Amino acid sequence: MSNNYLIKPMSMALEMLGRISSSEHINRWKLREPALKLVYQGMRQSVRVGKFVQSQYLAPKPLDHDETLKKNIPPKNDRFDLTLTREQQMVRDELLKFAKQVMRPMSRDVDSGEVTPEFFSQVNELGLALGGVPEAINGAGTVRSPVSNMLMAEDLGYGDMSLAIAALAPLGFVNTITEFGSREQQARYLPPFTEETFVSASIALMEPEARFNVNKLKTLAVQTNAGFRLNGVKCMVPLGAQSELMIVFAELEDHGPRGFILERHYPGITIEKELNMGLSAAGMSRVVLTDVEVPVSALLGEQEVHYSHERMIDLARIGICGLSLGTCQAVLDFVIKYANERIAFGEPISNRQAVAFMIADMAIELESMRMLTYRAAGRAEQGLPFHREAYLAQLMCARRAMQIGTDGVQILGGHGYVCEYPVELWYRQLRAVGILEGTFVV
């Protein structure tokens, strides 16, 4: 296994050493001692000693090129279209049923943070993560489909946003591996998701800072002779405390943000559950990395895949937008029913323009969010540049989702403020839109 990262700096340093020592200036100015000391320090820095760590996952051989997921090439005479494919519609029907019958009824209870193992078994039966794993290795996936993934987020978000995040976390991990992982990493880390039990996996991107910037990560990775060493703190990691597998994003010295696949047993990882304004069922956790050593093979994409941090962020933003669409639809449907039934001054409050217009505006802005999110996802799927569209979608959703959340409480008046009704829960969940990054990579 070549260590390209080491060879170039080393050879440059040696060349420079040669030049310095042959220079007459060194002797003239009595600089030999300090110069040698400098070079020694420099050399020591470029060859960090690390601990060899072993992955617990076997990789018999890397995936063949034709075993990986295909790009979804759209048909030739493409036209503006808002209809789902037959398969997408079938999945939609199934997930909406799950959202209404399973997720929504437990929504309030799981807000305490306790999600039963039974829920995860039911989620596993849906086969979400399975759909992202290539058919060739016992998965159900054939193409990379950000649109289908986004639709799943929308439908599960309709049930409960926090449970949706929990349910989708493994699929987000799988999507990140199929999108950015090397063929060997795919062979190593995807098979667990084809099994009978739910396998928790997470993406760790956010960091606990008010001015957190996705492009300026403070979690650092340095190269060692055994692989890499990570130090830093990650927050809002979904299912963090129960995840066996995690992709941690860190700033790799001299290279910018990169992903690292961590296995829970690697020494130096401390995980604690966090308490947040909402989304407690998502199991958001704080991950502290203290001199965590990882093998060379942990680098997402290794030497094989060009990693684009911007692309990863954009795909995750589409995912978060998708979640917000479902939750906002839940708010809208709920307030329509409530406003039509609640009587005040002798008639339903929905007969009053002030209330009716607020609801009309919620509907209009939800459609606005939906159009931008769908467009971004459509472009991502077709291989068109979509950074601008994902950026604008996130801007729109960040503003409008919270507006819908707060209007939802307003329409219910005092009843909206108490825990007997779901709107206060959605209010707390929707505030996360505009904050979350990396939560669900489509």
Task: Please report, as ranges, the residues that interact with other proteins according to CB under 8 A.
Answer: 74-75, 77-85, 147, 211-215, 332, 336, 339-340, 347-348, 350-351, 353, 356-357, 359-361, 363-364, 367-369, 371-372, 374-375, 377-379, 381-382, 384, 387-388, 391-393, 395-396, 399
Report the nearest approach of other proteins to the CB of residue 356 (Å). 4
Cβ pair 227, 294 in contact under 8 A: yes
Partners of 204 in beta bridges: 248
- Please choose, from the candidates 90, 281, 259, the residue with its C-alpha nearest in 3D space to the C-alpha of residue 168: 281
b/e sequence 93-124, b meaning 16+ C-beta within 10 Å? eebbebbeebbbebbeebbebebeeebbeebb
Per-residue tokens: 322 = 């998708």
Contacts of 58 (CB under 8 A, 6+ apart): 188
Report the nearest approach of other proteins to the CB of residue 393 (Å). 8
Q: What is the enclosing helix (H) or strand (E) of 134?
A: none
Report the nearest approach of other proteins to the CB of residue 307 (Å). 17
How does DSSP assign 307-329, residue by residue?
--HHHHHHHHHHHHHHHHHHHHH
- Residue 149 or 186: the one with the smaller Cβ distance to other proteins is 149
Report the nearest approach of other proteins to the CB of residue 269 (Å). 27
Contacts of 63 (CB under 8 A, 6+ apart): 134, 136, 137, 183, 184, 186, 187
| C-alpha span between 158 and 361 (Å, rounded) | 19
- Residue 123 or 349: the one with the smaller Cβ distance to other proteins is 349
- Residue 40 or 357: the one with the smaller Cβ distance to other proteins is 357
- Residue 255 or 337: the one with the smaller Cβ distance to other proteins is 337
Cβ pair 401, 372 in contact under 8 A: no
Report the nearest approach of other proteins to the CB of residue 315 (Å). 15
Side-chain-side CA neighbours of residue 426 (13 Å): 34
Residue 65's φ and ψ, nearest 5 degrees, are -55, -40
- Residue 298 or 436: the one with the smaller Cβ distance to other proteins is 436
Per-residue tokens: 336 = 């329509």
| C-alpha span between 263 and 177 (Å, rounded) | 14
Report the nearest approach of other proteins to the CB of residue 390 (Å). 9
Report the nearest approach of other proteins to the CB of residue 372 (Å). 6
- Residue 80 or 345: the one with the smaller Cβ distance to other proteins is 80
| C-alpha span between 165 and 440 (Å, rounded) | 7
- Residue 179 or 381: the one with the smaller Cβ distance to other proteins is 381
- Residue 66 or 81: the one with the smaller Cβ distance to other proteins is 81
- Residue 110 or 313: the one with the smaller Cβ distance to other proteins is 313
Contacts of 179 (CB under 8 A, 6+ apart): 144, 311, 312, 315, 441
Report the nearest approach of other proteins to the CB of residue 411 (Å). 12
Report the nearest approach of other proteins to the CB of residue 256 (Å). 14
